Structure 1
Amino acid sequence: MPTVLRSGPYRFYFYSHEPNEPPHIHVDRDQDSCKVWLTPVALSSSLGFKARELREIERLVSLNRGILLKAWEEFHG
Structure 2
Amino acid sequence: MPVVFRSGSLKFFFYSNEGDPREPLHIHVRGPNGEAKVWLSPAIGIADSKGFNPRELADIIREVAKNKPAIERAWHEHFSN
TM-score range, shorter chain: over 0.9
**1:37 aligned to which of 22, 36, 39:** 39
Rounded Cα–Cα distance in structure 1 between residues aligned with 2:5 and 2:13: 7
Amino acid at match of 1:36: V
Query: Does structure 1 retain, via aligned residues, the 8 Å contact 2:38–2:46?
Result: yes
Aligned length: 77
Rounded Cα–Cα distance in structure 2 between residues aligned with 1:58 and 1:69: 15
Percent same amino acid at aligned positions? 44
What do residues 38-61 of structure 1 show as CA deviations (whole Å, max 9, x unaligned)? 112111000000000000000000
Runs of 4+ in 1 over 4 A off after TM superposition: none
- Give 1 or 2: higher strand fraction: 1
> What is the aligned partner in structure 2 of residue 18 from structure 1?
18
Question: C-alpha root-mean-square deviation of aligned residues, in Å?
Answer: 0.9
Query: Does structure 1 retain, via aligned residues, the 8 Å contact 2:33–2:52?
Result: no
Uncovered stretches (5+) of structure 2, i.e. residues with no partner: none
The correspondence of residues 1-77 of structure 1 with structure 2, limited to 5 A, is 1-19=1-19, 20-39=22-41, 40-77=43-80
